[in-house]
Amino acid sequence: MQRIVLLTEGFTEPETAKTAASVLRYRREDVVAILDSTQAGRTAEELLETGGDVPIVASLDEIELADTLVLGIAPPGGKLPDTWRPTILTAISRGMDIVNGLHHFLVDDAEFVQAAERHNVELKDLRRNNESDIAQRKDLNDKCLRVHTVGHDCTVGKMLTAIELTRGLKLADHDAKFVATGQTGILVSGDGIPMDRVISDFVNGAAERLVRENQHHEMMIIEGQGSLAHPSYSGVTLGMLHGFFPHALIMCYEVGRQWTKGVEHVPVPPLAKIFELYETMASIWRPCPVIGISMNSRLVDEAAADEEVVRMEKQFGIPVCDVVRHGPKKLIDAIVNFNQRRLASE
């Protein structure tokens, strides 16, 4: 167990601080406080919609015992906010390890490296990797079901859906493995590859490596990244889709999302179009259908969410639910049924 402080200074809201929100959701017992001087006195739940009464504090001085500072944001491009440098140096001087999911690596930053050596703390860059193998499309064990969560945009719940489905499948006595593909998933689950930091030639190969390493399980639920319709990140998304070579997809979307995250002048295509893009690209070598829809209804009320479920199930003819609001049962049934039919037809 760790005693974590989540640094979200100036960015404590669910989307930009999604790393912090996920640590609160899945490792809450390890979290001591959130550090954001602009929101001091409030609680995690109020601002991040998770984390209960974990306090937001203005300064490390207010925290008695803490051993780890986690940089809790995932901004586009992954740059380090300049204003965070003094806080990180203070944490180091107090003997805290630093966990960083940004593209800006602490171990490449002389000031942090010197401070860490002086105070004997660890700088852990979650996105650092050394992937250098190209995909071979070989030695994949199709006995192990591969389900991939994909989305119509960034920040719609692909990781959360994959974690909730894995938990639900385990509770139903299935040997399911959550496969993390981003810094937050890695921080929460303890393994995985930060796919968006892999050299582009090796993305498909890195995905394939994760398949080979996990295919002793009955099934793997693989976190998606970006979107095939995102002008900035589609390359990562397709490299993963072809490297993981899944048997089935779960489509994640946020109700009401109209404009693409980070490029807000670009419309998100209609979901029917999104389905076409994914099923076309996933089914080049063999059919790979979307078998369920994970609806993120965080911005609408209960009644609107229920109406949306009815409308979507009618339009697409597959199960739809919000895994937070309704629980993941419908999607778990869809996965288990799909796998039974798949194995029976072999």
Name the residue nearer to its own copies (CB basis): 53 or 264: 264
Rounded-to-integer distance, Cα 135 and Cα 138, Å:
8
Question: Of the ranges 131-139, 159-167, 297-305, 325-333, which one interacts with its own copies (CB under 8 A)?
Answer: 131-139
**Pattern 248-267, its own copies, x by CB under 8 A:** --------------xx-xxx
Specify the residue for token string 């479920």. 309
CB crowding 122-150: b at 16 or more within 10 Å, else e:
ebbbbbeeebeeebeeeeeeeebbbbbbb
CB of 260 to its own copies, least distance (A): 8
Task: State which of residues 168, 224, 243, 246 lies at the interface with its own copies (CB under 8 A).
Answer: 243
Residue 172 is encoded by which pair of tokens?
């139903």
Q: In sequence order, what are the residues at sequence separation of 6 or more whose Cβ sits closer than 8 angstroms to the Cβ of residue 78? A: 101, 102, 103, 104, 127
Contacting its own copies within 269-288 (CB under 8 A): 269, 273, 276-277, 280-281, 284-285
In eight-state DSSP terms, residue 157 is S
Residue 108 is encoded by which pair of tokens?
């490449």
Contacting its own copies within 64-123 (CB under 8 A): 76-78, 103
Name the residue nearer to its own copies (CB basis): 137 or 311: 137
Name the residue nearer to its own copies (CB basis): 58 or 281: 281
Name the residue nearer to its own copies (CB basis): 61 or 264: 264
In eight-state DSSP terms, residue 15 is T
Closest CA to 7 of 28, 32, 29: 32
Task: State which of residues 8, 68, 204, 296 lies at the interface with its own copies (CB under 8 A).
Answer: 204
Q: Cβ(19)–Cβ(187) under 8 Å? A: yes
Task: State which of residues 21, 165, 188, 229 lies at the interface with its own copies (CB under 8 A).
Answer: 229
CB of 144 to its own copies, least distance (A): 18
Query: Is 235 a residue that touches its own copies (CB under 8 A)?
Result: yes
CB of 269 to its own copies, least distance (A): 6
Name the residue nearer to its own copies (CB basis): 46 or 276: 276
CB of 331 to its own copies, least distance (A): 26
Rounded-to-integer distance, Cα 220 and Cα 170, Å:
11
Question: Of the ranges 24-32, 40-48, 234-242, 336-344, which one interacts with its own copies (CB under 8 A)?
Answer: 234-242
Task: State which of residues 85, 118, 137, 329 lies at the interface with its own copies (CB under 8 A).
Answer: 137
Rounded-to-integer distance, Cα 199 and Cα 222, Å:
20
Query: Is 234 a residue that touches its own copies (CB under 8 A)?
Result: yes
Name the residue nearer to its own copies (CB basis): 206 or 300: 206
Task: State which of residues 176, 195, 300, 324 lies at the interface with its own copies (CB under 8 A).
Answer: 195
Can you give the three-state secondary structure of 238-301, one letter per residue? HHHHHHHCCCEEEEEEECCCCEECCEEEEECCCHHHHHHHHHHHHCCCCCCCEEEEEEECCCCC
Specify the residue for token string 């609160």. 24
Q: How many amino acids of this chain bind its own copies (CB under 8 A)?
A: 51
* 99 residue type, one letter: V
- Would you tell me which residues interact with its own copies (CB under 8 A)? 76-78, 103, 132-138, 195-201, 203-205, 228-243, 245, 262-263, 265-267, 269, 273, 276-277, 280-281, 284-285
